[in-house]
Structure 1
Amino acid sequence: MINSFPRFLGALALLAMAACNQTGTNSATQSAPKTDPATGQPVIAGPDLTGTAPRTPGKVVSASTIGASAAQTVANLDTTTRTEKAEAAAPKTGGQRLGTTVASLGDPSQAGFWMKTPLVQSETNGRIVNPATGKSANVQLIPLGGPASGGSQVSLPALQMLGVSLTDLPTLEVYSG
């Protein structure tokens, strides 16, 4: 055991010297100083990288497969029942007009007929109308922070009932009651 210890120290010293040689600079691998063309500021020197990142063997990635496993259809996200849809579509008139708001699609995974809007201070039943189509939906109005002139978020089934594309930003009329 005593004889093997000096051998171990010798091998450790050789490894340490080899590691020191790896950290030295090699003028062949470094390029001239570079500047950022957008700002004119110097860029930190480093090795010039060429080629592409390694890929997982056998895996093919194309524009048509990116995000395919996470994609869901509108039908899959709309979990409302026929009864809920009938209640939301039941014609109502009257109610207090709260104003108009620019609406966008809210969280599509949140079920039901609702609108998050800064036009209300507490949850209440209400109705939203798309003046472009005349279609309306009975919804739960949920407070949303921000000024009254701020935008609102609408549930997926409510937007569908109003005949609004999920990527549009329609101006909707909001009524309480």
Structure 2
Amino acid sequence: MTKPIFRIAFTLSLLILAACTQTAKTTATAPPQQLETMTDPATGQPVIKGPVLTGTAPRTPGKTIGASSIPAPTASTAADFDTTSNAQKAAAAAPPASAERRLGTTVASLGDPSQPGFWIKTPLAKSETGGRIVNPANGKSAKVRLIPLGGPASGGSQVSLPALQLIGVSLTDLPTLEVYEG
């Protein structure tokens, strides 16, 4: 009676091992998953078919983050996240030294507060370059890095925490800002 039970157990373990081996082979050689045809809800544009991407995007070349520009792991207030120095704030608040070209206006919101520096991610920018944002409500401005953001030119923008503070905008407001290149 015990011999048939051992035979059945042995046979089942062989089948389980065979199934595991077969699964590993099929996942290693499976073609990449393809996106179905769909519309991007943010832009209303059709999404291009292609492989589903996983992982993280690469950093912008030439950008470095020093230990002093990374907020503390326990950061919980705006002051904790603002890692800019007084000299950096003074340089960003300085008046423009050269001619600037107005790109337009945009509704802005707070971007990633853990990303240091003075920047704006906006669909008004076509390439990463220097620029300025102006708060027309009080006339304050800040020199920022213009970073392209996908979407229509009428889409909103994301602004760094120190830049919003410099131009006198509450972190929960959605102000309309003027954006300049140059």
Q: Pick the TM interval, shorter chain.
A: 0.5 to 0.7
Counterpart CA distance in 2 for 1:70 and 1:125 is 31
Which SS does the other structure have where 1:87 is aligned? helix
Q: Residue deviations 1:112-168, cap 9 Å, x none?
A: 000000001110100000000100000000000000000000000000011000000
Match of 1:116 in 2: 121
Correspondence 1:86 to 2:114: no
- Deviation of 1:104 after TM superposition, in Å, equals 0.1
Given residue 102 of structure 1, which amino acid in structure 2 is its aligned partner? V
- Deviation of 1:175 after TM superposition, in Å, equals 0.3
Which SS does the other structure have where 1:85 is aligned? helix
Match of 1:158 in 2: 163
Q: Residue deviations 1:14-51, cap 9 Å, x none?
A: xxxxxxxxxxxxxxxxxxxxxxxxxxxxxxxxxxxxxx
Match of 2:78 in 1: 74
Q: Following superposition of structure 1 onto structure 2, how do residues 1-177 of structure 1 map, counting pairs within 5 Å?
A: 72-92=76-96, 94-177=99-182
Which SS does the other structure have where 2:79 is aligned? helix
- Deviation of 1:71 after TM superposition, in Å, equals 6.5
Counterpart CA distance in 1 for 2:156 and 2:86 is 29
Counterpart CA distance in 2 for 1:174 and 1:117 is 9
Match of 1:32 in 2: none
Which SS does the other structure have where 1:111 is aligned? coil
The CA RMSD over aligned residues, in Å, is: 1.7
- Deviation of 1:88 after TM superposition, in Å, equals 0.3
Counterpart CA distance in 2 for 1:156 and 1:71 is 13
Counterpart CA distance in 2 for 1:156 and 1:137 is 12
Q: Which entry has the higher C-alpha Rg, 1 or 2? A: 1
Give the total of aligned pairs: 110
Which SS does the other structure have where 1:175 is aligned? strand
Counterpart CA distance in 1 for 2:118 and 2:112 is 12
Counterpart CA distance in 2 for 1:91 and 1:71 is 31
Counterpart CA distance in 2 for 1:70 and 1:89 is 29
Conserved 8 A contact 2:75-2:81: no
Identify the structure with the greater helix proportion.
2
Q: Which runs of 5+ in 1 are unaligned?
A: 6-68
Report percent identity of matched pairs. Answer: 75
Match of 1:61 in 2: none
Which SS does the other structure have where 1:98 is aligned? strand
Counterpart CA distance in 2 for 1:162 and 1:91 is 13
Q: Which runs of 5+ in 2 are unaligned?
A: 3-72
